[in-house]
Amino acid sequence: MPSTHLSLHYHLVFSTKSRHPFIDSEWRQRLHAYLGGCLKTLGAIPETVGGTEDHVHLLTGLKAIHRLADVLRDIKQTSSEWVHNEMKEKRFAWQEGYGAFTVSSSNVATVRSYIEAQEEHHRRKSFQEEYREFLEKHNILFDERYLW
């Protein structure tokens, strides 16, 4: 085949350190926009970003040259520095780990809607419940001792 064709969509989820509610509603949208900008800077395609006071969800398209762990390391590091400098929240940090789930093209619109409705969604379900369901839905084995 003379050319490469990709459809690599990822639903990324990560939380603040110890799930502390650092992300204030006053600047949450700015952080989400910044995270989208971080993805663009890396050459990724930000589809949507959403979340609440203690975690974020990103739907992004990646290229074949991207290494998922590097993308996450870079956006977490850069956005953490942004929060420290712009929001003056020096204690802010992201949790070390993350969740990354592949999304088929046929499900991109559904995942986008889900991410955009995070605040409403979390009125009914905690982040812990939500994340456990993701892991179970995607048949990812986990040890509860190391989950939080």
CATH code: domain 9-146 is 3.30.70.1290
pLDDT for the residue numbered 77: 98
pLDDT band at 137 (very low <50, low <70, confident <90, very high): very high
pLDDT band at 5 (very low <50, low <70, confident <90, very high): confident
- pTM exceeds cut of 0.85: yes
Map out the domains of the chain as residue ranges.
Answer: 9-146
Stretch 21-45: mean pLDDT, rounded? 97
As to burial, measured by CB atoms within 10 angstroms (0-12 exposed, 13-18 middle, 19+ buried), residue 23 is buried
**Pairwise CA distance, residues 79 & 35, whole Å:** 6
Specify the residue for token string 């409705």.
117
Q: Tell which wins on pLDDT, 121 or 132.
A: 132
The yes-or-no verdict on residue 1 having pLDDT over 80 is: no
